[in-house]
Structure 1
Amino acid sequence: MTQTDRPDGTDAAPRRVRRRRSRPADAAAGKSPASTGRRITFWAGCGLILAGLAVLGWVAWQFWGTNWQSGQRQDDVRRALHSGWGEGQDVVRTDFGNATAIVRIPKFGKDYAVPVLVGSSQEVLAAGLGHMADTAEAGAVGNYVLAGHRVTHGEPFADLPSLKPGDEVIVETRAATYTYVLDTGGEDLVIPFTQTWVLDPDPVNPAGGTQPPDDAGDHLITLLTCSEIFHTDNRSVVFGHLVETQPTADSAAG
C-alpha cells in the first residue's frame, strides 16, 4: 500500500497545510509602534510637568515660604531678647544664634523691628540682621556693620535702596538705645563683595568715591545688602554716624 492509498484501496486526496503568518512582536502583543511612541511621549510629558511644578514650588518657597518662616523666627528672637534683657543679659542665646539688639528704621514703617544676631551665617540671616564679625558693638567707637537679605528669608533690607541721607537707624540694646543718622543713600555705593574696606573701623574708599564724610566722627554704622533683587556678587552699602545715646532705665539706675 502506497502513501496515497487508503485502507479501503481508494487514493487519498493531497493534504493542504495552512501556514500561519508571522507577526511583529508588538502586533502579537496588541501594541503597534505608533501606540508605543505615544506612550513614551505621554510619560515624558508627565515628567516635564512634574519637573516644572517642582521648580515652581521651589520658587514659591524661596519668595514666600522663607519669608513666612523668617517672620516666625524673628518673633521668637524678639521675645527671647526681651525676656533675656529682663534678666540682665546683654547677649541672649537663641535657637538661631546669639542675639544682641533690635533695629528700627522709621523710614520702613512703625512696625519695622528686626533682631540682630552675631555673625553672618545663613542661619543668622534667616532670623534677622547679622552683626558682622570683628566690627564694633552698637554705640561703641568704630564701625558697627549690619548685613541682611534684600529678598527672601524675611528680606529685612528689601527697601534699603530707598534710604536717603538724614534717615534714622535706631538700635535698641539692653544697655541703651542708639540713634544713627545716615550720611549716604541706598543707591550711592555699590561694591563687589570682595571689597572689605567697608568693614574697617574707619572706612576709606580706595577709589576715592562714596564713603563716610570727614565730620562723621568715630561712632559709625554701615548697612550691607545685595545690590540686586536676584543673585549678585555686588553689595549696596549705606553709611551713617551716631547722634544720640539714650541709656535704658535699668542701665541708668545701675
Structure 2
Amino acid sequence: MRRLIGVVLILAGLSGLGYIGWQFWGTDWQSARIQEKVRTETEQAWSHGKEPRVKWGNVEGIVRVPRFGDDYAIPLLEFTGYDALHAGYGHMQESAEVGQKGNFVIVAHRTTRNEPLRHMPDLRVGDEVVIETRTHVYTYRLITRGDALRVRFDSGGWVLEELPDNPEPGGVEPPQVPGQRLITLVTCAELFHSDDRLAVFGELQRVDQKAPAA
C-alpha cells in the first residue's frame, strides 16, 4: 500500500510539473504559431483591401516595438476576453481607438502566450510603439519608462482612464493635458504570479497613410 501511495504521489507531482511546464513553455510554442498565422492572414487580407477575420477575435492591427527587435510584429485584437491574448495584444474596448483623442490601452502577457511584453522593463523614454492598421501606421513615443510605474491589480484602474491621473502625489503619469492622444501598455509586473501590473505611457507622434491595396 505504501508503495502504491508513493507511486500515486510521484505521478501527481509529475502531472503538476507537466501543467506548469505547459503554461510556461507549451503555451509559448502554441501562441507563437497562432500569432504567426494571424499575422500572415492579416497581411494577406490587407493586401486585398479587406479586414481580417480570425477565430480568436477581430484583428485591429499589428504592434511593432523597435526596442524589441526588427522582427517583432505581434497581432492586435479587440479584447473580448483572455482568448484574444492567445493571438497577441488586446485592445481594451472602453479605451480610445488607435490614433484618436483619449487613451488607447493595449494589454499583453509578460509570461506565457509567446511573452509579447516579457521585456517591458527595458522600455525607455523616447522608444517607439508602432501600430499598423489596414490603412495607416500610427507611431507613438513613450514618455515614461517601462519599469517606472507599478500598480495594484485592484486599485490601478486609473491607468485605463481617458487622461490617467495618478492618485499618488508626485506619482508617474502622463502630462495632465486634456485632448491628448495617448497610448498605455499594461502587463504583469512579475514573471510569475503577481497582483501588480506595469504600465507605460506614450503619446502619438505621427500618422502615415499607407498606399491603397492593389
What is the TM-score of this pair, normalised by structure 2?
A: 0.94
Shift of 1:83: 2.1
Deviations 1:7-66 (A, max 9, x none): xxxxxxxxxxxxxxxxxxxxxxxxxxxxxxxxx121111111111110111111111100
**Residues 216, 70 of structure 1: CA spacing in aligned structure 2 closer, same or farther, 3 A cutoff?**
farther
CA distance in 2, matches of 1:216, 1:229: 34
Asked whether the equivalents of residues 76 and 90 of structure 2 are also in contact (C-alpha less than 8 Å), the reply is yes
Asked whether the equivalents of residues 184 and 239 of structure 1 are also in contact (C-alpha less than 8 Å), the reply is yes
CA distance in 2, matches of 1:53, 1:170: 42
Shift of 1:207: 1.8
Amino acid at match of 2:92: M
1:206 aligns to 2:167 (yes or no): yes
1:192 aligns to 2:160 (yes or no): no
Q: What pairs up with 1:1-254 in 2 under 5 angstroms?
A: 40-89=1-50, 91-119=51-79, 121-194=81-154, 195-208=156-169, 209-214=171-176, 218-250=180-212
Amino acid at match of 2:61: A
Asked whether the equivalents of residues 179 and 243 of structure 1 are also in contact (C-alpha less than 8 Å), the reply is yes
Match of 1:34 in 2: none
List alignment gaps of at least 5 residues for structure 1: 1-39
CA distance in 1, matches of 2:56, 2:96: 21
Q: Percent identity?
A: 46
* Higher share of residues assigned strand: 2
Count matched residues.
212
CA-based RMSD = 1.7
**Residues 70, 216 of structure 1: CA spacing in aligned structure 2 closer, same or farther, 3 A cutoff?**
farther
Shift of 1:134: 1.3
Which structure would you say has the larger RCO, counting Cα contacts within 8 Å and 6 or more residues apart? 2
SS of 1:249's equivalent in the other structure is coil
Amino acid at match of 1:153: R
Which segments of structure 1 move beyond 2 Å, counting only runs of 4 or more?
86-89, 213-217
CA distance in 2, matches of 1:202, 1:214: 7
Asked whether the equivalents of residues 216 and 240 of structure 1 are also in contact (C-alpha less than 8 Å), the reply is no
What is the TM-score of this pair, normalised by structure 1?
A: 0.79
Shift of 1:84: 2.0
Shift of 1:214: 4.4
Which structure has the larger Rg?
Answer: 1
CA distance in 1, matches of 2:66, 2:178: 21
CA distance in 1, matches of 2:142, 2:148: 12
CA distance in 2, matches of 1:131, 1:74: 15
CA distance in 2, matches of 1:45, 1:187: 45
Asked whether the equivalents of residues 128 and 148 of structure 1 are also in contact (C-alpha less than 8 Å), the reply is yes
CA distance in 1, matches of 2:112, 2:80: 15
